[in-house]
């Protein structure tokens, strides 16, 4: 349990610090201004063939040899499995094992394989969500486009099964917007604008939807619409049972960018109190000390 907690904290630090310093998304539609873009063209990039073996190897390095041993054993069983039912059960086992050590990329590929065998809404949604998570965790420009492309494919299948489901629409909207930053274009026409429209449709139906508001807030940060980001993160904080430190962290960052120092200091402190992690605390203390100068 201790090792799993350390892995989770490390992953969160990577997400927070990585997203914070990302440049504004190229070609991103302004989230609250439907029908308008900033006119920038998306530069298309070829999508590499990323396999489960590739991401599993990277995942094992991240979790260390001790935790990787059990997974390696299950992989060996899958390699020698003789029938479809046994293979499916082992894929489910591997998906859970990767989930248990907070490695969404290999888990995503196994959930995708499971969904290919058992065509259910839950399977496709889970696979798509894991690919979206993998995109957030990973800063590799080679693997990110593949994660986005797979997320879109999986989530389209989920939406096809349950067109009105807000969780699926939110996740697909996130994937559509994510494709812009890595130069991926959906072959069937799903665009960043369509992604924002999906997210806005979710909050029209459910104004306090946690996931849609958080992601709209994140996209507002990357497009430097800090006033709109503030409202999104405040909604998340007000309505989430346990909002975690990220909404407070990005709320603080939005206040800081707008020169609202007292509000930023309060939100940074709240984020720090919730995180209780040395690496995150150190970074937040730097921001706090800078604001106090």
pLDDT in tens, 267-279: 999 999 998 888 8
Span 165-216, pLDDT tens digits: 999 999 999 999 998 878 888 878 788 889 999 999 999 999 999 999 999 9
Measured CA angle at 275 (ends 272, 279), to 5 deg: 85
- State both tokens at 183: 């130069």
Q: Taking Cα atoms as reference points, which of 165, 111, 158 lies closest to residue 134?
A: 111
Query: What is the band of 92 on the pLDDT scale with cuts at 50, 70, 90?
Result: very high
Q: What is the pTM of this model?
A: 0.83
Q: Is 189 left (phi over 0), alpha (psi -120 to 50) or beta?
A: left
Q: How far is CA 202 from the centre of its chain?
A: 18
CB atoms within 10 A of CB 182: 22
Q: Taking Cα atoms as reference points, which of 285, 251, 216, 291 lies closest to residue 30?
A: 216
CB atoms within 10 A of CB 96: 13
Query: What is the band of 19 on the pLDDT scale with cuts at 50, 70, 90?
Result: very low
Q: What stretches of the chain show up as alpha helix (H) in DSSP?
A: 2-20, 52-63, 65-80, 84-100, 104-117, 121-137, 143-161, 166-181, 192-205, 210-222, 226-239, 246-257, 261-275, 278-292
Q: Which domains are present in the chain?
A: 35-190+198-205 (1.25.40)
Nearest-Å Rg of the Cα atoms of the chain is: 20
Residues 99 and 52: their CA atoms lie apart, in Å, by 14
Do residues 218 and 19 make contact, with C-beta atoms less than 8 angstroms apart?
Answer: yes
What is the mean predicted confidence (pLDDT) over 57-65? Answer: 95
Residue 269 burial (10 A CB sphere; 0-12, 13-18, 19+): middle
Q: The dihedral of CA 225, 239, 284, 181: what is its sign?
A: negative
Residues 80 and 232: their CA atoms lie apart, in Å, by 49
Do residues 256 and 271 make contact, with C-beta atoms less than 8 angstroms apart?
Answer: no
DSSP 46-78: PPP---HHHHHHHHHHHH-HHHHHHHHHHHHHH
The DSSP 8-state label assigned to residue 242 in this structure reads S
Span 97-151, pLDDT tens digits: 999 999 999 999 999 999 999 999 999 999 999 999 999 888 888 899 999 999 9
Do residues 270 and 243 make contact, with C-beta atoms less than 8 angstroms apart?
Answer: no
Average pLDDT of the residues of the chain: 86
CA atoms within 13 A on the CB side of 8: 10
Do residues 216 and 200 make contact, with C-beta atoms less than 8 angstroms apart?
Answer: yes
């Amino acid at each position: 349990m201790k090792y799993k907690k350390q892995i989770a904290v490390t992953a969160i630090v990577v997400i927070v610090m990585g997203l914070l310093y990302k440049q504004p998304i190229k070609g991103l539609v302004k989230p609250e201004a439907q029908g308008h873009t900033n006119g920038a063209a998306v530069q298309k990039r070829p999508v590499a063939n990323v396999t489960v073996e590739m991401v599993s190897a990277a995942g094992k390095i991240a979790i260390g040899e001790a935790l990787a041993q059990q997974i390696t054993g299950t992989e060996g069983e899958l390699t020698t499995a003789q029938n479809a039912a046994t293979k499916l059960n082992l894929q489910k086992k591997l998906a859970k094992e990767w989930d248990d050590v907070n490695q969404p990329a290999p888990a995503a590929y196994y959930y995708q394989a499971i969904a290919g065998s058992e065509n259910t809404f839950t399977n496709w949604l889970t696979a798509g969500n894991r690919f979206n998570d993998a995109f957030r965790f990973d800063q590799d420009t080679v693997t990110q486009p593949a994660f986005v492309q797979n997320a879109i494919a999986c989530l389209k299948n989920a939406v096809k099964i349950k067109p009105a489901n807000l969780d699926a629409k939110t996740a697909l909207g996130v994937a559509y917007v994510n494709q812009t930053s890595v130069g991926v274009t959906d072959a069937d026409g799903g665009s960043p604008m369509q992604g924002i429209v999906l997210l806005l449709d979710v909050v029209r139906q459910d104004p306090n939807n946690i996931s849609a508001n958080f992601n709209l807030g994140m996209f507002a940060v990357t497009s430097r619409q800090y006033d709109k980001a503030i409202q999104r993160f405040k909604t998340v904080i007000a309505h989430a049972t346990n909002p975690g430190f990220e909404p407070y962290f990005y709320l603080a960052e939005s206040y800081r960018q707008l020169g609202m120092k007292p509000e930023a200091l309060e939100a940074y402190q709240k984020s720090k109190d919730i995180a209780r992690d040395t690496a995150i605390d150190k970074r937040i203390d730097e921001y706090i000390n800078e604001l106090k100068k």
